[in-house]
Amino acid sequence: MQPGQPSRTALGAAAHRAVHQVLDGGRIFADPLAVRILGADIDVAVRDAEDHPSTRKLRLFIAVRTRFAEDALTAAVARGVRQLVVLGAGLDTYAYRTNLGENLRVFEVDHPATQAWKRQRLAEAAISVPSALSFAPVDFERETLADGLAAAGFDPAQQTFFTWLGVVPYLTDQAVFSTLGFIAGLPGGGHVVFDYGNPPDSGPAQDEYAAVREALANGVASLGEAFKIHFETDELHAKLTALGFREVEDLGPALIRERYFANRGGSTPDRGGHIVRATTI
Q: Per-residue pLDDT tens for 50-89? A: 999 999 999 999 999 999 999 999 999 999 999 999 999 9
CA dist., res. 146 & res. 35, Å (int)? 32
- Please check whether residue 3 lies inside any domain of the structure: no
Tell me how many degrees the CA angle 115-18-48 measures, rounded to the nearest 5: 105
| 199-217 residue pLDDT tens | 986 555 445 545 545 544 4
3-state secondary structure of 220: helix
Q: Specify the pairing of strand 247-251 against strand 273-279.
A: antiparallel
Report pLDDT digits (tens) over 138-182. Answer: 998 889 999 999 999 999 999 999 999 999 999 999 999 999 999
Cβ atoms within 10 Å, residue 267? 9
Q: Print the domain residue range for 64.
A: 8-279
User: Does 69 reside within a domain?
Assistant: yes
The predicted model scores a pTM of 0.91
Residues 53, 56, 60, CA angle at the centre, nearest 5°? 170
* Structural domain contains residue 1: no
**CATH code: domain of residue 274:** 3.40.50.150
Element (H, E) at 108: strand 105-110
Q: Report the C-alpha gap between 168 and 206 in whole angstroms.
A: 25
- The dihedrals phi and psi of 222, each to the nearest 5 degrees, come to -65, -20
Domain tally, the chain: 1
